[in-house]
Structure 1
Amino acid sequence: MFRSAFPDRLDIAGTSIELLTRGAGRPLLFLHGGHGVDAGDALVERLAAAGHKVIVPSHPGFGASPRPPGVTGVDDLCHIYLDLMEALDLRDVVLVGVSFGAWIAAELATMGTGRIRRLILIDAVGVKVSDRETRDIADIFATTVEDIPSLFFHDPEKGKALFHGFDFKNMTDAEVTRFVRNREALLLYGWSPTLYNPKLLGRLRRVNVPVLLLWGADDKVVGVEYGRRYAAAFKDAQFAVIGGAGHYGYLEQPDAFASHIDTFLAA
Structure 2
Amino acid sequence: MTDTTVFTPSSTIDVLGLATTYRRVGAGEPLIYLGDQGYSGRWIPLFDSLASRFDVIVPDHPSFGGTDIPDGLMTFTDLVVHYAEFLDALGLKDAHVVGHGFGGWIAAEFAAVYPERVTSLTLVAPTGMLPDEDEPMVDSFRLDREKWLDAALGADRSEWAPIIDADEDGANRVLTDYRERIGIARVAWNPRYSLALEHRLQRVKSPAQVLVPDEDALIGPSVARRFAELLPTVASSVTISGDGRRSQHMVVIQEPEKIAHAVTTLTATES
TM-score normalised by structure 1 residue count: 0.87
| Runs of at least 5 residues in structure 2 that lack an aligned partner in the other structure | none
Contact 1:43 1:250 in 2 (8 A): yes
Q: What does the per-residue CA deviation read over 1:184-205, in whole Å, with 9 as the maximum and x for residues that have no partner?
A: 32233321112x1221112111
Aligned to 2:221: 224
Structure 2 letter corresponding to 1:200: L
- Distance in 1 separating the partners of 2:48 and 2:217: 26
Aligned to 1:117: 119
| Runs of at least 5 residues in structure 1 that lack an aligned partner in the other structure | none
Contact 2:14 2:20 in 1 (8 A): yes
Aligned to 1:192: 190
Aligned residues with identical type, % of pairs: 27
Q: How many pairs are equivalent?
A: 260
Contact 2:111 2:117 in 1 (8 A): no
**Aligned with 1:199: secondary structure?**
helix
Distance apart, 1:163 and its partner CA: 2.1
Structure 2 letter corresponding to 1:80: H
Aligned to 1:108: 110
Aligned to 1:182: 180
Structure 2 letter corresponding to 1:203: R
Contact 1:21 1:54 in 2 (8 A): yes
Aligned to 1:143: 143
- Distance in 1 separating the partners of 2:34 and 2:120: 14
* Structure 1 pair 263–113 and aligned structure 2 pair: CA distance change class (3 A): same
Structure 1 letter corresponding to 2:214: A
**Residues 1-267 of structure 1 aligned to structure 2 (within 5 Å):** 6-49=9-52, 51-130=53-132, 137-154=137-154, 156-157=156-157, 158-160=159-161, 162-164=163-165, 172-173=170-171, 175-194=173-192, 196-237=193-234, 238-244=236-242, 245-267=247-269
Contact 1:6 1:19 in 2 (8 A): no
* Structure 1 pair 43–137 and aligned structure 2 pair: CA distance change class (3 A): farther
- Distance in 2 separating the partners of 1:103 and 1:23: 25
Distance apart, 1:182 and its partner CA: 1.8
- Distance in 2 separating the partners of 1:215 and 1:113: 23
Distance apart, 1:40 and its partner CA: 2.3
Contact 2:34 2:59 in 1 (8 A): yes
- Distance in 2 separating the partners of 1:71 and 1:59: 15
Contact 2:153 2:248 in 1 (8 A): yes
Q: What does the per-residue CA deviation read over 1:135-174, in whole Å, with 9 as the maximum and x for residues that have no partner?
A: 5632111212332233112463235453229xx9x98235
- Distance in 2 separating the partners of 1:60 and 1:201: 25
Q: What does the per-residue CA deviation read over 1:31-73, in whole Å, with 9 as the maximum and x for residues that have no partner?
A: 1112242442111111002x21011111111112112223522
- Distance in 1 separating the partners of 2:197 and 2:46: 27
What is the CA RMSD across the aligned residues, in angstroms?
2.5
